[in-house]
Amino acid sequence: MEVQRLVDAYIIGLGDNADNAELCKTLVTYINSGDISLLELVQALGVYLASEEAGRRSKGVNVLSDVLVDLPADAIPAAATARLVQFFSARLADATCVPHILTATLALMRLPSFTDLFAAEILGALFKEVHVQSFQYSTRRASYQLVELALQSYPAAVTKMGDGFVLGFAQVLDGEKDPRALMLAFQIIPKIASMIDIKRHAEDLFDVIFCYFPITFKHREGDPSAVSPESLKSALRAAITCSPYFGEMAIKPLIEKTTAAAASVKVDALETLAAGALAYSPEVFKAEMEVLVEQIREDVMMAANESVVNAALTTLEAIYGVLSPSAPLTDSLPSQDAEMTDSSTPLDYVLKEAVFQLTADEIKNPDQVGKILRAVARSSSYNCSVVSDAVLPIIVERMNGTEVLTVRRELMDVLNYVLSASCDVERRAECLDADKTNLLSIYHPESSVPLDKEYSFLHIVRLKGITLLTLLPDFLSSNEADIALQTLGRAAIELNEDENVNKEATHLLIQLAQSKPEQINSTVLPMFMDALREDMVAAHKASRLLNALGSISVAASDSLLPVLQGLVSLVIAGKLASSHCVATTETIRKVIETATASTTNASVGAELYTAIVSPLVDWVHEQACANKEVPSLLVVEIARALAASFSKLDTDTQKRNLKPLFEKYAELVVGTADSSVASQYQLLPVFSAAVCSCWCETRLPVDDLDLFVSSISATALATESNTCRNVCFEVMAAVLNKTKDSKLRSRLAQRALQCAPDTKNEAALVVLHLWIARALTSCNDKGGYDSVRWLLEQIRLPSLHAAEAAQGFNIILGEHDWAVTPSTHGMFKVLAKQRFYSTVVPEITSGFQNTADIAVKTNLLVVLTNVVRHMPKSVLMNGIEKVVPLLLSAIRLTGGDLKAASIRTITLVILETPEILRDEVVTSIIPLIIASTTQSNAENTVGVRQAALGALSLIPEKYPYPVVNTVRKEVLNALARARDDRKRLVRQDAVKAFNKWLNLGDA
């Protein structure tokens, strides 16, 4: 019979470890098509399933399991399901068959014909007959998966089993050690607790779970299937805290674990206690609160580990949150005296020690005392009121009775923590209203305290307190709030001997701007604008004020436009010195860039363009028309701001706003303007920024695009204005790059080049090809590579402008403020840089090897350096060994940024693939790098020296002692000289590198 033949072959294949996939597929096909029935398969397997040999029984079940897993659901009738469940339940007592039975059962449990009765039968057999921990991981995992599937799909069966299910699962889990299996088990336990009343067997289940706490194991690096320690800790924590019945058993051992020496164990225990606060009954905490608070106080006071301190305070807040009375506050809160009776409440354990510290002659650890009080106070409105009522009168009394500034600062520090808790729970204690006058007096500026560094901490604490009073809901009147904000504003504006006072005041204003933007806009911003408007305001002060305004506007969206409009008004009104005017415009630009980068909402860009950028563009145009001097840096900053906002406009809005700009500036770039508008050439970057920031779909307001491109190309080649030439090339490149039709793009490129044969300005012709290459290579257009080859040919020939062509490769690949960039919607194909690298580098290598002309070699190395410095690491490291010799030559023959870029590329090779340079590191690389650390050579700029020291610092880490030890003395001598460099940053890098070479070879 065919089915018997297939089964026998399958069994033989299992014995020989052969691939039985085809046999399994054939059996499944026969059953699915009705040629044989599932019953016939079982009958064919009968001799194996009933065998007295365990191995033959296992193989028989294996075949059945494999077929069931692959069979579609409609091929297994309900009657067969019932018989299979009965059979599998009985056979779970046969240890050799268990792995295959569990696999088959998981397949059956997903069938519509599988019922809750079947689930209960299988689970009962699993818990009774199978010693799960005696099997391999794959079988244990299947057991957990079976339990989880039952919980998910057959809750009625699980609920009916009740205590039997709880005890059975505890037995399955007991003794598990594999982190992967534990992860599954820990995730099952909360599901059990939510579905079954575990009260009677909570202790049995808890004992099995808690024996794993705290859990530690070595994570297998590089294994994607491995369980991370943190995820397993979180799963165990969720299991321990999933039921209120675990609370009474968990609290004491967890508190004991908080005394562990290891910080990780402390944190784990504290975080588990915090999680338990939400699950356990508050009563289980009350009996242990005194011990727990004392331990937390010790951890916070010691402050040895920040993670422990944070976990301790979080735990304190969580537990006091559940211990707090849930009833609303009444007028009769417990007074301080009532709290200190013999009938102690949980709050006493914190308040007694805090009161003792605050009334002592010397306050010890005021910062830690304040943190503990804050954690308790912000746990609930009730606790906040009790803590405030107990502490504030003491602080007020002591403040009024002492003139010692250090004590006053410490008291204010504690008071600030309590006030911050009131802000967090958005409810102030009644005692705050009663002591309002005293509080205002405490934080009032003290004229007797000098504004020098010695007392800066006192001023900073006072400013924090003023901020907290302002944030308290409905505490200060409108006039009082204005006075508070003015105090903060003056602290941020006026020069202090300690800059930290200015910084802290600015930080607090930023914080307030997010919650009270209207008051900041009406009270503080005018103060800043007036300060900028002052005569002879120092540059560093103006910079500090502008940075503060920029931070406020970015942090609070409601302050964005008021700040920018105020700055624009200062610029347009001519109230600023010229240098401050440029700095102010730079701040406006940075804020616009930040605001537009953080949102995809086009309306933000439109609003900023209309309200901020457009007035600046109109103003600078008026200045130029009136023949007033306009700094070039100012124009560039306005253009950058325009690009940031204009690029966010939709196509229709862009087209509408382009028209007036073309009316003002188009004649200048197409060569039809008369001499009367020559003063406006300096404003052309504004025009370029607008055109280059358009979407590809935005149609320029020109009748003939071909004529426009050829005209601006001709203007660029003929003009003597560098600004005009650069703008023409930028606009031309943007138009070419954003033309999606390849045929039209090629035609426009040819129109741009048609004036080239007639030009006498060879330098401009080189730049024309550079910009065409930038526009077209980024979108993988072959026309761009025609210009690249033309440029390389100029470099290989004794051309007058070969050096300009070599340096110009930075134009092709480098960053630009607005022309052909991703932020201004330039077209960049995914593999554009890979293609450029694979096309250009071989030609550079070939040209370098085939010439003896030093000038040509130098220019080719300049090209190479400009190419590699702009390549992503993934592209650069492909075939880098062929480029390394040229990079070493570049270090010898170039200087400045190019030399630094070559050294950084060599450093990258050392970092990623040090074996490539193993033979050259001592003979060639180290001598070149040492020579690059000397400051006497003008070619060794600060950037070069830092890059060289970075490379030297890396070499001891990447190469073994025997390889580099021969040059150790020479390197140390060079680094000793570098430690005396005139630049501090270089000296720092030299010290780091020196220490690494000094310790070379140490274990």
pLDDT of residue 520: 94
For residue 428, pLDDT beyond 70? no
In this structure, are residues 668 and 677 in contact, taking their beta carbons and an 8 Å threshold? yes
pLDDT score of 919? 85
User: Average pLDDT of 361-372?
Assistant: 89
Residue 674 has pLDDT above 90, yes or no: no
Among the ranges given (227-231, 245-249, 366-370, 440-444), the one the predictor scored with the smallest mean pLDDT: 440-444
Q: pLDDT grade, residue 5 (50/70/90)?
A: confident
Q: What is the dihedral of CA 863, 868, 871, 873, to 10 degrees?
A: 170
In 818-923, which ranges are continuous DSSP H helix? Answer: 832-849, 854-868, 873-876, 884-893, 896-912
pLDDT band at 855 (very low <50, low <70, confident <90, very high): confident
Domain ranges of the chain: 702-876, 878-1003
Do 741 and 700 contact (CB within 8 A), yes or no?
Answer: no
Q: What is the predicted pLDDT for the residue at 204? A: 92
Q: What's the pLDDT at 339?
A: 41
Give me the mean pLDDT over the 515-536 stretch. 89
pLDDT tens-digit profile of 172-231? 999 999 999 999 999 999 999 999 999 999 999 999 999 999 988 776 665 666 788 889
Give 671's pLDDT tier (boundaries 50, 70, 90). low
Tokens of 517: 């933007």
CB 438 within 8 A of CB 394: no
- How close are the terminal C-alpha atoms of the chain, in Å? 72
Question: Are 736 and 748 within 8 A, CB to CB?
Answer: yes
Share of the chain above pLDDT 70, in %: 93
pTM of the entire predicted model: 0.77
The pLDDT tens digits for 964-990 are 889 999 999 999 999 999 999 999 999
Q: What pLDDT was estimated at residue 582?
A: 92
As a whole number, mean pLDDT of residues 990-1002 equals 87
The answer to whether the beta carbons of residues 796 and 846 sit under 8 Å apart is no
Contact 717, 752 (CB under 8 A): no
Gyration radius (Cα) of the chain, Å: 39
For the residues 811-831, what does the mean pLDDT come to? 93
DSSP conformation class of 329: P
Instruction: Give yes or no for residue 916 having a pLDDT over 80.
Output: yes
Mean of the pLDDT values across residues 607-624?
Answer: 94
Confidence class for position 884, pLDDT limits 50, 70, 90: confident
In whole angstroms, how far apart are CA 442 and each of 459, 465, 835?
A: 12, 9, 69
pLDDT digits (tens, 9 = 90+) for 727-782: 999 999 999 999 999 999 999 999 999 877 767 788 899 999 999 999 999 999 99
Is the predicted pLDDT of residue 791 greater than 90, yes or no?
Answer: yes
Q: Which of 120, 125, 210 is nearest to 173 (CA)?
A: 210
Q: Mean of the pLDDT values across residues 230-242?
A: 94
Banded pLDDT at 431 (limits 50, 70, 90): low
Angle, helices 179-195/163-173, rounded to nearest 10 degrees: 170
Is CATH 1.20.1070 the classification given to domain 878-1003?
Answer: no
pLDDT tops 70 at residue 449: no
Kindly tell me if the per-residue pLDDT of 451 is higher than 80: no
Would you place residue 446 in the very low, low, confident or very high pLDDT band (cuts 50, 70, 90)? Answer: low
pLDDT at 335 over 50: no
**577: Cα within 13 Å, side-chain hemisphere:** 12
- What is the greatest pairwise CA distance in the chain? 111
Q: What average pLDDT does this structure show over 358-374?
A: 89
From 508, 505, 503, 512, select the one nearest 491 (Cα to Cα).
505
pLDDT at 3 over 50: yes
Each as own residue / partner, the long-range contacts of residues 32-40 (CB below 8 Å, 24 or more positions apart, any chain) are 32/71, 32/72, 32/75, 36/2, 36/3, 38/71, 38/75, 38/76, 38/77, 38/80, 39/80, 40/3
Name the residue among 347, 405, 340, 341 with its Cα closest to residue 372.
347
State the Cα–Cα distance between residues 837 and 729, nearest whole angstrom.
24
Residue 403 has which token pair?
Answer: 């003139």
C-alpha angle 746-833-854 in degrees, rounded to nearest 5: 95
Residue 269's Cα: distance from chain center in Å? 28
Lowest mean pLDDT among 48-52, 507-511, 512-516, 939-943: 48-52
Residue 18 binned pLDDT confidence (cut-offs 50, 70, 90): low
Q: What is the mean pLDDT of the chain?
A: 88
Cα 219 from Cα 203, distance rounded (Å): 31
pLDDT of residue 340: 40
Whether the CB-CB separation of 621 and 687 falls below 8 Å is answered with no
Above 90 in pLDDT, residue 341? no
Q: How confident is the model at residue 15 (pLDDT cuts 50, 70, 90)?
A: low
Say which DSSP state 702 is in. -
